[in-house]
Amino acid sequence: MYQHLIYEQQCEIDVVILNRPDTANAFTQEMLDEVAAVFTQIERDSPARAVILKAAGKLFSGGGDIKMFRDLLAAKAPLPVELVLGTGRMALAVRRCKKPVVAVVQGAAAGAGFGLAMACDYRILSESAKLVPAFNGIGLSGDTGLMYFLGKNLGPARTYELMTLKTALSAREAKDLGLATEIVPDDALEAQGKAFTEKLLHKPTRILERQKALLNAYFYSELETFNQEEAVAMHLSSKEADFAEAVSAFLDKRPAKFSGR
C-alpha cells in the first residue's frame, strides 16, 4: 500500500518505518503524503496503544530531497507552497494521532526530519545521533512546524539562536535542552526504543489519549495556521539568490557564499 514507508502492526504497538535509505530518507511530496496518510489511518482504524516511528538505514532523515531542489532551480521555479504545506500536514497528522508516538532516531534528523521528530511525543536518540536545523544552510526559512515546536519547548530566544547559529545538536545537547527523552547506546537503539514504548502499554491508554488532546489544545492549537505562514516564507525564500547558492554549494561539496540577496 505504501511505497516510501513500511507500516507494521505488532500486537499493541504500531510501527512506521521511513523507507528511502538510499536517499537518507529524504522527503518527496509522495513520502510526505504517505506519512500523513499512515498516521491518519492509525488514528482512525488501529487498535494499537502506542506507535513507534523509526527509519531504515543509517539516518533517520536528511530532510528535503536535494535533487528536487536542484530540479526546481534548473526549471527556474520556486518551491511550491503546496509542497511545504505537505510537511505541515505530516506534522499535524502525528500530533492529531491520539496514541503516544515514540520517535527512534539514529544518525541524524535534519530539517524536515528534525521537525517530524519534534512532532512526536517522545524522542529516543542513539548516542551518536544529531538533531540538525539545516534550513539556514540550504538558504530556506524552515518547514514541518520545526520553529513552532522548538518555540513551545525552548522559547523564542533559544529557538532563534538554534535556527540561525547552531549547525547541529548532539544527543547530549538535545537531552540537556529537554528535546530528547532518552539517550541509548547505538547498538541498543532498536531494542531500547521498543522497550520504552512497551512501558506505555502499562499506562491507562485512554488517559494518555486525553492528556495528549489537552496538550494539543493548550500548546499546539495554532500549528495549522503556522504551517500556512511557514509555507509562504519557504516559497519566498526559494526565490532568493542565497537559496540557489546554497543548493549549488551542497552539490559541489563546497562552503556556500551567501550574499544576502
Mean pLDDT of 202-210: 97
**Helices then strands, each counted (H, E), the chain:** 11, 9
Asked if the structure places residue 196 within a domain, the reply is no
Structure-block grid coordinates of residue 127: 548516542
Asked if the structure places residue 105 within a domain, the reply is yes
Asked if the structure places residue 199 within a domain, the reply is no
Which pLDDT score is estimated for 102? 98
| Nearest-10 Cα torsion for 197, 203, 209, 212 | -70
* Ordered alpha helix ranges (H), 66-184: 66-74, 81-96, 112-119, 146-154, 156-165, 171-176
Asked if the structure places residue 200 within a domain, the reply is no
Asked if the structure places residue 198 within a domain, the reply is no
Number of domains, the chain = 1
Q: Please report, rounded to a whole number, the percentage of residues in the chain having pLDDT higher than 70.
A: 100
pLDDT over 80 at 261, yes or no? no
Which pLDDT score is estimated for 66? 87
Measured on CA atoms in the order 235, 240, 246, 247, is the torsion positive or negative? positive
Q: From residue 253, give the alpha-carbon distance in Å to each of 59, 128, 245, 246.
A: 19, 23, 12, 10
Asked if the structure places residue 91 within a domain, the reply is yes
Output the DSSP codes for 208-257. Answer: HHHHHHHHHHHHSTTHHHHHHHHHHHHHHHTTSHHHHHHHHHHHHTS---
CATH of the domain at 17: 3.90.226.10
Asked if the structure places residue 194 within a domain, the reply is no
Question: Phi first, then psi: what are they for 41, rounded to 5°?
Answer: -65, -45
Mean residue pLDDT across the chain: 96
| Predicted confidence (pLDDT) per residue in 50-89, tens digit | 999 999 999 999 999 888 899 988 999 999 999 999 999 9
List the domain range (segments joined by +) for residue 230: 5-186+205-252
Asked if the structure places residue 60 within a domain, the reply is yes
